[in-house]
Amino acid sequence: MKHTSARSLIIAAFIGAGVVWLIEVLLVSVGEPMLVPPRTWSAALVILGGAIMALAWPIRSWVQGNTTGSIVDPFYATRVVLLAKSMSVGGAGVMGGALGILVFLVSRPVLSPDGLWLSGAAVVGAIVLMVGGMVAERWCTLPPGTSEGDTLVAPEGESG
């Protein structure tokens, strides 16, 4: 498994920013209200970032050798790492979208302080989600020198 690259995160952020900025321009040009992130959006993103790290914690403990005799289910580990990868890319896309809203709001002749604060909070929440996904993905990685097919191998430097 390859880790999520910075390149894919940057691409997701640019796509999110471009799409949301274009939607904002189109909405305002036809007389509709612009999109502003809801107050709960940033909190939900932070909670999701923490939740994926909580799901990855047992895998991290097992990979580091802090086990109580039980083996981590490989299907569970696979699901968590895929969820972590999707959360990191999704967090980058949401961060880009929130930045697109922020850029649109700043480019307007009249600034909306509430919209600016909510968009800034959404950027911070999306960064927490993206970083939480990236950390959880790293936690689900076997140490160097171990075979991916050997699930009973001890971490590097330890003998069983």
| Tens-place pLDDT, residues 33-86 | 988 999 999 999 999 999 999 999 888 887 777 766 677 788 888 899 999 999
Rounded CA separation 44/24 (Å)? 22
pLDDT for 153 beyond 60: no
pTM value?
0.82
Residues 6 or more apart whose CB falls under 8 angstroms from that of 22 comprise none
| CA 110 to mean position of chain CA atoms | 32
- Region 117-146: mean pLDDT is 88
